[in-house]
Structure 1
């Protein structure tokens, strides 16, 4: 097995929304805001090469939305999935599987693109299977009013229409599963959105955890620092507390999807609770 970080593009989000009830005077210490109250965000995906299987975890926003849509998110930087894949000698057609932590637009938008004459949509990875889970798929395709703006039909429904949609095999009420379809474990969490999937990957004698929106940035480590986007914030508190304690105790390496300035972190137990221990770039840790 070999892993590669894939940078799909940077953007910005409102800092208040990203930190919920936490005062700006506190969260700006780790995530400084610009004059519009926006903070830097990444859409950092992960490529897993395992024999003949080449799996991409999440796909970022993509580029098919309108100029008005992207105007809300202030894209910045030069990153793209195509450039990142090319850096490691791959292209989109090499991808065999796309694994989605969840189906919000900033995690799934890059999986579907316009067709050639822009009359409809098609998979952006023509040789890949798309992976979700039944419970989250139902949640995303029958969205509540709070999340409807994040579950865009043009990002989701073409997967099913293409015949490439597959669901991870999961027993009812199972919190953690060793995914038989992939060589990694999956933690299911429900605070941010229903049945978000958090991959745990054994790699070079380390446990690397793809954090998705359970821990968006290093600035979200303190327990009360919960996104305003979370549908069940009190449940996020419980899930976060349990996970962060385990991560600190067992020395997990946390791969941050949304932190534009920190790729991988470790945690430690302190008198004030779990806190940041060390930060790493992917290359200095694994190369």
Structure 2
């Protein structure tokens, strides 16, 4: 019986990407107030994961990893193209800081299979060698709709997926596909998902109950604190108007329940509480750059 959970934010490899692409149709005069661009118009982005450690009393039962970030599987040329800053696998270092190796992870939950969220499942690039699938003891939990999308992508987002990773996941024998509206048998009833298809069809966002209110891993529905503003979307979002409607619904639900968001791409804010100003506009308060806390 699970009696408590310890939640810890983990830093993965960081990126520098075009600010205009990250803020869609928002003008630079607006978004540069939140994210200062470099001389190439790029902004800093994190690739943050969430470690959930389950306990029965003092005994640790399972290690669950939500997201894997971009990792370090890209060749030097591709790292430069996509602004990946580190050549080493930073997520593995973050796990090591918690006394864990990738072999110690029991479950990996992937909100979706874009390379900046799932690339960390692969080993770091080595010249002349194909990257291998890490996390040999983990069950990989993916939304069924997203899995089909990843294996038959639209031309618009084909470059966002890693075909060799999809093949490795399928061949692992440890892939669990979650149908829309259902829970993961592996994770159990303590975990629920918000379904979001505005960014990509079938993105699943895990919600975890905490004593002071729910905590939602916001994925690419709300990649960082600036995107909590309802009209702000990314140029990478497949269906921006749908995403805005999904964001409105999620924020309204979380706001009523004193909810918090974990941001995967915000380089400075790992966690924040949902609030509204006097005009009803959503904002993030009580922010933390990193966290490690226990949930009863």
**Aligned-partner Cα distance in 1 for 2:21–2:124:** 30
The answer on 1:238 being equivalent to 2:242 is no
Query: Retained in 1: the 8 A contact 2:63–2:105?
Result: yes
Give 1:142 deviation, angstroms. 0.2
Cross-structure match for 1:129: 139
TM-score by length of 1: 0.91
**Aligned-partner Cα distance in 1 for 2:82–2:256:** 36
Give 1:250 deviation, angstroms. 1.8
Give 1:205 deviation, angstroms. 3.5
SS in 1 for 2:236: coil
Q: Which moved more, 1:42-51 or 1:113-122?
A: 113-122
Q: Which moved more, 1:261-270 or 1:99-108?
A: 261-270
Give 1:166 deviation, angstroms. 1.5
Per-residue displacement from partner, 1:67-114 (whole Å, max 9, x unpaired)? 111002333368811211111111111011111000000000111237
Cross-structure match for 1:210: 217
Cross-structure match for 2:191: 184
- Which of 15, 18, 23 is equivalent to 1:19? 23
The answer on 1:226 being equivalent to 2:236 is no
Query: Retained in 2: the 8 A contact 1:111–1:125?
Result: yes
Map residues 45-84 of structure 1 onto 2, 5 A cutoff: 45-51=49-55, 52-76=61-85, 80-84=90-94
**RMSD, aligned CA:** 2.2
Q: Aligned residue pairs: how many? A: 282
Structure 2 unaligned segments of length 5 or more: list them: 56-60
Q: Which protein, 1 or 2, shows the higher relative CO under an 8 Å CA cutoff with sep ≥ 6? A: 2
**Aligned-partner Cα distance in 1 for 2:292–2:141:** 30
Q: Which moved more, 1:263-272 or 1:145-154?
A: 263-272
The answer on 1:97 being equivalent to 2:107 is yes
- Which of 150, 154, 158 is equivalent to 2:160? 150
**Aligned-partner Cα distance in 2 for 1:255–1:248:** 14
The answer on 1:110 being equivalent to 2:114 is no
**Aligned-partner Cα distance in 2 for 1:42–1:115:** 20
**Aligned-partner Cα distance in 2 for 1:238–1:116:** 43
Give 1:117 deviation, angstroms. 9.6
Query: Retained in 1: the 8 A contact 2:228–2:283?
Result: yes
**Aligned-partner Cα distance in 1 for 2:280–2:195:** 27
TM-score by length of 2: 0.88
